[in-house]
Amino acid sequence: MVRAIDVANFFIDRMKDTDDPMTNARLNKFLYFAQGHSLARLGTPLFDDDIEAWIYGPVIKEIYNTFRTYGKNPIQTTSGSYSIELFTSEQLTLLNDVIAKYNHSSTGRLMDLSHEKDGPWDKTYSECAPDCIIQADCMRLWFEDIHLPNSVLDTIMNRGTAGYRDSDGYLVLPKDY
C-alpha cells in the first residue's frame, strides 16, 4: 500500500505547472477526497495514514507538518523519494479522476465540500474534540453518493465502439485508448 506522502507527492508533481498548484490546505483536501473515493470505488483505503478532523477541515498530520514551511504558498517540490511506479493502474486512474473532478475548484470551495453538513468531517468534528480521526466507514458511505467520473470508461464511451475482437474473443483497442 502506498503512503499518504506518496499520494501527496503525486498531486504536487502533477499540479506544479498548473494555474492552481498545491498548497498545504489544498493538498490535504485532495488527499481526503482521494481516500474517500478510493474507499467508495475500490473498496479499500488508498493509504493507511489517519485523516483527522481539524477546524479547517480534514488533515493528515504528517503531510501538514512536512509542508508547513510553505505556509499558504504553493508547494514547490515533492518530499523524499518519489516514483509514479508505486501506484497500480487502478490507483493512477482514481488519482487522475480526483484531479479531473476537483482541480477546477478553488481551495475555498474544496473546504466547503469537505465541510458539508453531515459529511465525515462534520460528523467527526462535531462529535468529539478537534484532531479526532475520521473513520473509513463513514468516508466510504459518504463518497459512495458522490459521482467521480471514470476517465478511462468515459473516454471509451465518448469515442464509441472501437477496436476489434481477436481470434480468442478478446477486445483489441487502438494504442490511443
pLDDT, tens only, 20-66: 889 999 999 999 999 999 999 999 999 999 999 999 999 999 999 99
Q: Considering only CA atoms, which of 147, 156, 157 is closest in space to residue 176?
A: 156
- Per domain, the residue ranges of the chain are 4-172
Q: What is the value of pTM for the model shown?
A: 0.84
- In whole angstroms, give the CA distance from residue 12 to residue 95: 12
Say if residue 176 is exposed, middle or buried (CB neighbours under 10 Å; 0-12, 13-18, 19+).
Answer: exposed
